[in-house]
Amino acid sequence: MDFLLCLLALGLLFLQHVSADFYSDIDITFGADHIQILDDGQTLHLSLDNTSGSGFQSKNEYLFGKIDMEIKLVPNNSAGTVTAFYLSSEGDKQDEIDVEFLGNLSGNPYVMQTNVYLQGDGNREQQLYLWFDPTTGFHNYSLLWSPRQILFSVDGIAVRVFENNEDLGVAYPKNQAMRIRGSLWNGDSWATRGGAVKIDWSKAPFVASFANFSSADACVSNSSSAK
């Protein structure tokens, strides 16, 4: 019943506000010694060096809702690094709603890559250059996932819409609950100029910062493992 009420929220009838912070509402998925949580749980730093990257996921699983995250990306020469903010279900046939930031050489713009996986199948990438320097301060990145569409936004500006076109035979993620995830990792086999530019490990550690995770307005799935 609670889930049905939350689903109605997406029709602007009711909205459940989920308060969260990095101390109590996430699990570290890898690189625990490369993660710092500060500001009473409101800010998290992920780091990457030649020994490990780092990542986290929400304790709760969500089925539809609006997720906001403020992120400050790796500054200076970030070539080969990938900072990710995404939703993903469990298992080999996962659904995912991805935002990845592909690092670049100093002075060159970051690429924001979005993708949607359905039953483990991606290949729906779209890329854009961010029109600001995302390394000097925090910017808000938002995923609005409803039964009708997925809206990707940057600082309140829509940059991509993925419509539900099931009536045309196109699959759409609506059955698998997903966790909120973030990570920083070595993607230099492909991330910058198709892998031509590798990570300069002399510049490590590389650090990306996440903040204000407390603004997650979403429908907590009944299957969530959170206590």
Q: What residues are labeled active site?
A: 96, 100
Hey, is 30 helix, strand or coil?
strand
127 vs 177: CA distance, rounded Å: 26
Token output for 196: 């031509």
65 vs 63: CA distance, rounded Å: 7
* Neighbouring residues of 191: CB distance < 8 A, sequence distance ≥ 6: 79, 80, 81, 82, 102, 103
47 vs 221: CA distance, rounded Å: 30
